[in-house]
Structure 1
Amino acid sequence: MDTTAWIAIAVFAVTIVAVISNVVDGTIAALIGVVAMVWFGVMTEVEAFSLVDWNVMAILVSVWVIAGYFGKTGVPSWLSMQALRLSGGRPGLLVVILSTLAGVISMFLDNVVVILMMAPVALPLARALKLPVTPLILMIGFSANFMGSAMLLGDLPPQMLHSVAGVEFMDFFWHLGRPSSFPILSVAFAVTLGAMYVYGFRGHGRRTVSISNLGIETRIPNRLFAAVVVGGFLLTVAGMAMRQVLGVKLGFIALTGAITLVLVLEMLGDRVNAPRFEDILGELDWRAIFFYVALFALVGGLEKVKLLDALARELRPLFTENLALGATLLYWVTVPIVGVVEHDAYILTFLYTIRDLQADGVPPWPLWWMLLWSGTLGSNLTVAGAPALFAALNICQREENRKVSLREFLAWSVPFTLVAALMCYALGMAIWVLPSVK
Structure 2
Amino acid sequence: MKVLVNPPKSTWKKEFARPIRKMKDIEKIVKPIMQKVKRQGDKALRKFALEYDHVEIHQLLVTREEILAAVAEVPETLKEAILQAKSNIEKFHRAQQTPDLEMEVMEGVICMRRSIPVQKVGLYIPGGTAPLFSTVLMLGIPAQLAGCKEIVLCSPPNQEGKIHPAILYAADLVGITTIVKAGGAQAIAALTYGTQSVPQVDKIFGPGNQYVTAAKQLATKKGMVAIDMPAGPSEVLVYADESAVPAFVAADLLSQAEHGIDSQVVLVASSEKVTKKILKEVDSQLEKLPRYKIAQKALENSVAFVINNPDKAIDLINEYAPEHLIVSVENYEEIVSQIVNAGSVFIGNFTPESAGDYASGTNHTLPTNGYAKNHSGVSLDSFVKKITYQQITPKGLRKLGPVVETMASHELLEAHRNAVTIRLAYLDAQNEN
Structure 1 length as normaliser, TM-score?
0.27
Larger radius of gyration: 2
**Structure with greater helix share of residues:** 1
Query: Which structure has more strand as a fraction of its residues?
Result: 2
Q: Identify which of structures 1 and 2 has the higher relative contact order when contacts are C-alpha pairs closer than 8 Å and 6+ apart.
A: 1
Q: TM-score, structure 2 length as denominator?
A: 0.27
